[in-house]
């Protein structure tokens, strides 16, 4: 089944995300990355303020097969896991 999911990430730059998806994708065009059964679109980076802290924020839109999505998001979350402190 085809699905669309939107995730907002904070603390990871658009450049880091682009590099990651570029490695996975078979094709890239204008901020969109395409692989077998999936497509990811990265929005422009914004700055999120939490008090005096400024964090990069990027919205990621995933389109594709549900099974592919669940597999990709599990790996993605481990790759970009950040510890607080």
- Residue 39's closest CA among 52, 47, 29? 29
**Contact status, residue 58 vs residue 8, Cβ threshold 8 Å:** yes
Q: Is the pLDDT of residue 82 over 90?
A: no
**What is the mean pLDDT of the segment spanning 56-82?**
93
Give the CATH number of the domain where residue 27 resides.
Answer: 3.30.1370.80
Q: Is the pLDDT of residue 79 over 60?
A: yes
Tell me if 22 is assigned to some domain.
Answer: yes
Q: Write out the residue range of the structural domain in which residue 63 sits.
A: 2-79
What is the reported pTM?
0.89
Task: Report pLDDT digits (tens) over 5-50.
Answer: 999 999 999 999 999 999 999 999 988 999 999 999 999 999 999 8
CA–CA dist 6, 52 (Å, integer): 27
Q: Where are the alpha helices (DSSP H) in the chain?
A: 14-24, 66-79
User: What does the block give as tokens for 78?
Assistant: 């481990």
Please tell me the total count of domains within the chain.
1
User: What does the block give as tokens for 58?
Assistant: 């990027």
């Amino acid at each position: 089944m085809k699905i669309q999911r939107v995730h907002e990430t904070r603390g990871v730059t658009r450049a880091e995300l682009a590099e990651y998806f570029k490695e996975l994708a078979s094709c890239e065009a204008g901020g969109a990355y395409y692989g077998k059964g999936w497509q990811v679109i990265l929005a422009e980076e914004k700055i999120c303020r939490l008090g005096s802290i400024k964090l990069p924020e990027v919205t990621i839109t995933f389109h594709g097969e549900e099974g592919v999505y669940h597999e990709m998001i599990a790996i993605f979350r481990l790759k970009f896991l950040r510890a607080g402190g």
